[in-house]
Structure 1
Amino acid sequence: MIAWDGPAGRVLPVVTAPAPVLSAVGAEVDPCSPEIVQLAADLVATMRVSPGCVGLAAPQVGVGAQVFCVDVTGHPKASTTHGVFVLCNAKVIEASRWKAGREGCMSVPDLTGDVKRAGRVVVSATLPGSGEPVTVTTDAFEARALQHEIDHCAGKLFLDRVAGAHAVYQRKVYL
């Protein structure tokens, strides 16, 4: 079971590019430390109040750490979903079924871009609080979200993965 059941968190401000923390590799963390458990809770709280947000990584709230949350529940592009979960020190250990797809990011609020990602991934990580090792196997939109957040923890934005300027678009604003 990977669903988040930790403490309530605080809503934190989201940093935007070109903030240096977004291009730095995050530090591996001790998933059992109280600071990391609180950070996990804060990430979930911040994601929940952010319209359209399906994932949020520690660097996006100014913390250079390998921690992120994901929840694609109810998203029209989601097929597989594990609900709300937080992972520490996550690594993709298998990737297949590569496909391009449009991505956006709270840290790059004005742009979207076409990024080629694996449509099926297996990710190994640890859970905050317990430090329990987990393996997450998923596909489609949830796989894309995991890869996007793992990239944040490695100091990469989706803009680092687009094929070129022709694959970057101004975000549409709906009033």
Structure 2
Amino acid sequence: MAVREVLKYPNDILKQDAADVIELTDEVKQIIQDLKDTMLDARHSTGIAAPQIGILKRIITIDASLNKKCKENHGFMVMINPEIIEHSGTITSREGCMSVPDFTGNVTRAERIVVNYFDENMQQNVLETSGFEAVLIQHETDHLNGMLFIDRVISKRTDLFRRKKY
């Protein structure tokens, strides 16, 4: 088990674009395992992206089922090179992030998405999802593009909140 340190804003790595994964190497397998271990060790996390542990590769792990309010989801998933190919509707919700631990904020995102990605065996998949799971994938995919939820907060003055508990 390799639990990695989660980088915190304003670390420069969090603002950089991640590179595509070309093939499934031992290094990529280890990154996936480290992401799983780090996410589960946090006990409150539903997702994490490789840049958050200092690795600029397009890999995320998510598990929307860890959110008690998310009834419909696909469980634990590894997504390599995820690309949102369709989106519709809007949903505004409160987001938090392990890389910005002291704040939460209101963010508007697509309510429904279709995402193209490779799984941990480098098999191509297309997934349609909505609600919290769609928001989660968008949040983690933003990390791969050098964006944080605070970059998308509706109003930094009225929609960014100091976290009261962890």
| TM-score band w.r.t. shorter chain | over 0.9
Q: Does 1:91 align with 2:83?
A: yes
| 1:68–1:86 contact (8 Å) kept in structure 2 | yes
Listed one character per residue, the Cα deviations across residues 55-86 of structure 1 (whole Å, up to 9, x for unaligned) are 00001001111101000114123132111111
Give the 3-state SS of the residue equivalent to 2:110 in structure 1: strand
Alignment gaps of 5+ in structure 1: 1-8
Which residue, out of 80, 84, 104, partners 2:72?
80
Q: What does residue range 20-169 of structure 1 map to in structure 2 within 5 Å?
A: 20-128=12-120, 130-165=121-156, 166-169=158-161
Q: Does 1:12 align with 2:7?
A: no
| 1:14–1:61 contact (8 Å) kept in structure 2 | yes
CA RMSD of aligned residues (A): 1.2
| 2:70–2:132 contact (8 Å) kept in structure 1 | yes
Q: Which 4+ runs in 1 deviate beyond 6 A? A: none
Identity of aligned residues (%): 38
TM-score, normalised to structure 2, is 0.95
Aligned counterparts of 2:88 and 2:76: Cα–Cα separation in 1: 24
Relative distance call for 1:74 and 1:131 in structure 2 (3 A) is closer
Listed one character per residue, the Cα deviations across residues 115-168 of structure 1 (whole Å, up to 9, x for unaligned) are 00111111001122x211011111111111000000000100000111121110
| 1:86–1:127 contact (8 Å) kept in structure 2 | yes
| 1:56–1:69 contact (8 Å) kept in structure 2 | yes
Alignment gaps of 5+ in structure 2: none
Listed one character per residue, the Cα deviations across residues 76-106 of structure 1 (whole Å, up to 9, x for unaligned) are 2313211111111101111112111000000
For residue 25 of structure 1, what is the amino acid of its counterpart? D
Give the 3-state SS of the residue equivalent to 1:73 in structure 2: helix
